[in-house]
A and B are shown apart, each in its own frame.
Chain A
Amino acid sequence: MEYDIIEKVVELAVAEHELEGKLVKAAELIAYSFGFDRCEFYLWDEGKQVFTLKAHFGGDSNHKIYAQDEGIPGAVKAQKGVFEAQSLDELEEKGVTDRDMEGFRSVYALPLHDRHNFYGILSLKSRKRLALSIKRRHIIRIVALELSWAIRYDELIRNHQKIHSDLAEIQKKFANAEKLLALGDMAATLAHEIRNPLISIGGFAGRLKKQLGPDTKGALYLDRINIEVSRLQKIMDGITGFLKDSALELRSNDINEVIEECLKIFNPDFRSYGIRVIKDFHKGPLHIMADREQLKIAFDNLIANAVQSMEKNGGSLIIATALSGDLVTISIADNGGGIDPRYLGYIFNPFFTTKEHGTGLGLPITNSIVNRHKGVIEVENNAGVGVTFTVKLPRAEAKLPVVLLTDKIAESGPGKFR
């Protein structure tokens, strides 16, 4: 009986096969049941805006891809309904050319869709003239609907799987963040343990120098010791900056004002390195709740990096502040050559530096300060040209909580990452 096919297609649709296998079987079933010579499924690719042949039965289709307004698939899509032609002449009359009609006489094609989406088309071709009864047309429509559901189901499953793998990815990142946190705790303890002996070393070196008197060789050595001790002390201070319980003094601060203050310190550097400073500030104050001193440390670090990148050849420092929705954004751009893409994934790691006298703590400290203010940092690297660091912070009037992505930790890769 003709109705049997409906049942069979339902069985197919809910079976555990891959979509392609289901469609191939369905194609065979439909072709046999209704006496077509070929049955094809062209599925619509929303991303690429083309039709691709997903499954077929009866000879080889030589046209595997159709543009959105091309041939029979294009005609069905434009019409949002059944397209049929009893002869090639009729096809031509309807203004449709389709290379894949060679050897065929008539075609009956219909959309695979539901209320929400257009999934593609089902096309049935025959070498003869074909008169389809109303009943058969109904049955084919029902079958097409069933198969639309199968396609939708497949799509949902694939989305589901993608969400799962995205989730696994995020979990992995969190695990990394936790490791980093543990490392941070360890470093803080270590910093404390090292700090006291350092003070002793420096202190006694000072006393020894007093005993030896100035202008002695020994005094020279002791100066060296002192220089190294202060360097180590600077590193230790940096690490203690990570201590998570250090309290923030949150007040309403105008970010434009904070940046101006930071820039002032660098004025002598701008002059001596030939750096042009271009300010593109938001008109009017941009208030955020922040610990002013901490924020200044964060921006000092970013500006210092930009300045250091342009030390040799000069350049332009472009500082922009803006308001976008509930976020205040501050971007600091330089043209000091950018970051080697190989290193991009490491720049936020403590102690990563490419500078002779760097501590590699500038960016991790900046990152930790920005994070504690519920903000994020984004890096746009243009290797060989320059780099733009963008800090995004919730503005003071923002409705809390403002949800931001905070897992920009050490994800490697060229170009932009967050």
Chain B
Amino acid sequence: MKKRILVVDDEEGLRLLYKEELEDEGWEVELAASGEESLEKLESDSIDLVLLDIKMPGMDGVEVLRRVKERWKDLPVILCTAYPHYKHDFGTWASDAYVIKSSDLTELKQTIRDILGKKE
């Protein structure tokens, strides 16, 4: 069965870009435009991995990460951000990987492959 990835980002352009690129790799992609929406999606759909933007209006990525790890301990989460500074934030240690946003998605795809592969 195809693995299903939930992309959480408040930028419409980026959501679309991730969707197309990740679908090209053979994954199914669900989208959420906010932290709140992502939690609803996680309740209703079965998701194998979450790609999470940190900086979002309303509930931010770090908060979403905390709630996700509380409820679905084994669900892998990749944090994405524009800056490398969050590395030191104690709130982010719980994520499975940390990727700096770039228009070149090679690194991101490799990270997803590694994590999903490990779970097999």
Contact = CB atoms under 8 A, between A and B. Distances in A.
- Co-assembled chains A and B: yes
Interface of A: 192, 195-207, 226, 229, 233, 240, 243, 245-247, 249
Given A243-B85, A247-B88, A229 B103 contact: yes
B119 to A, nearest CB: 26
Given A202-B104, A204-B17, 10 more contacts: A199-B13, A199-B14, A199-B17, A200-B13, A200-B103, A202-B102, A205-B103, A243-B85, A246-B85, A249-B88
Contact of A240 (B11, B17, B83, B105): B83
A243 B104 contact: no
Contact of B82 (A195, A202, A204, A207): A195
Contacts, number: 58
B82 A192 contact: yes
A34 B105 CA distance: 99
Contacts of B20: 207
Contacts of A206: 103-104
Given A202-B103, A202-B104, A197 B13 contact: yes
A240 B11 CA distance: 19
B48 to A, nearest CB: 23
B14 A200 contact: yes
A187 to B, nearest CB: 14
B4 interface: no
Contacts of A196: 11, 13-14, 82, 101
In this complex, the member of A196, A198, A229, A249 whose beta carbon has the largest number of chain B beta carbons within 10 angstroms is A196
The 7 closest A-B pairs by CB, nearest first: A202-B103, A200-B13, A203-B17, A246-B85, A203-B103, A247-B88, A196-B11
Interface string B60-75: 0000000000000000
Nearest to A247: B88
Nearest to B18: A203
A200 B21 CA distance: 12
B11 A200 contact: yes
A221 B119 CA distance: 41
A381 B24 CA distance: 56
A9 B101 CA distance: 81
Given A192-B82, A240-B82, A199 B103 contact: yes
14 contacts: A192-B55, A196-B13, A197-B13, A198-B103, A201-B13, A203-B14, A203-B21, A203-B103, A204-B13, A207-B17, A226-B103, A233-B102, A240-B82, A246-B85
Contacts of B11: 196-197, 200
Contact of B103 (A201, A240, A249): A201
A372 to B, nearest CB: 13
Contacts of A204: 13, 17
B83 A199 contact: no
A386 to B, nearest CB: 35
A202 B17 CA distance: 10
A205 B14 CA distance: 13
Contacts of A249: 88
Interface in B69-105: 82-83, 85, 88, 101-105
A243 B14 CA distance: 23
In this complex, the member of A204, A226, A245 whose beta carbon has the largest number of chain B beta carbons within 10 angstroms is A204
Contacts of B21: 203, 207
B18 to A, nearest CB: 8
Contact of B102 (A199, A246, A247): A199
Contacts of B88: 247, 249
A60 to B, nearest CB: 75
A228 to B, nearest CB: 12
A246 B17 CA distance: 29
Contacts of B85: 240, 243, 245-247
A40 to B, nearest CB: 71
A206 B82 CA distance: 19
A164 to B, nearest CB: 42
